[in-house]
Structure formats: structure tokens, C-alpha cells
Amino acid sequence: TSFTRSLSAGMTGEDVRALQVFLNTKGFTVAVAGVGSKGKETNFFGPATKAALVKYQQSMKITPAVGFFGPVTRASVR
């Protein structure tokens, strides 16, 4: 998936769903079960997506690791 916009908490869209799929697939679990879990990703960027994204950013040494899916983080997933 090619991400074209920055994403942050509270946003919605199919790119948010794609981000959740990416995170879940790479081992940065959005949710263990239910909404946001693998195969049940949603289009809402909530606290669970933010927490998983922070873990991903930390693993990639992206600073600041605050759960904002901006240009630096987007470039790392291509």
C-alpha cells in the first residue's frame, strides 16, 4: 500500500485500515481480539492504532515516536 497522507488519532479512511493491516501483519498488534485485530481492522485511527504505531516507530528508531503517521514514518513502510 502506498500511503499519501499523514494520519493521526481521530482520523478515518481506508488508509487507516491499511495502516492497521500493516501493523498487525508486522507484529505490532493493534488489538488481540475484536475490533482492530488481524482480519477485523477498521477505518478509525483510535488509541489502539496509535499505541501500535508508537511501538513500530520505536522499533524503527523514528523520533519522536508519538503515534503520528507523518512523512518519515510513511517512508519507512514503502
**Per residue in 39-50, pLDDT tens?**
999 999 999 999
In this prediction, residue 35 carries a pLDDT of 94
Mean predicted confidence (pLDDT) in 66-78: 94
Phi-psi region of 27 (alpha: psi -120 to 50; beta: other; left: phi over 0): left
Is 69's pLDDT higher than 80? yes
User: Quick one: three-class SS letters along the chain?
Assistant: CCCCCCECCCCECHHHHHHHHHHHHCCCCCCCCCCCCCCCCCCECCHHHHHHHHHHHHHCCCCCCCCCECHHHHHHCC
Separation of alpha carbons 75 and 37, rounded Å: 24
Confidence of residue 1 (pLDDT cuts 50, 70, 90): low
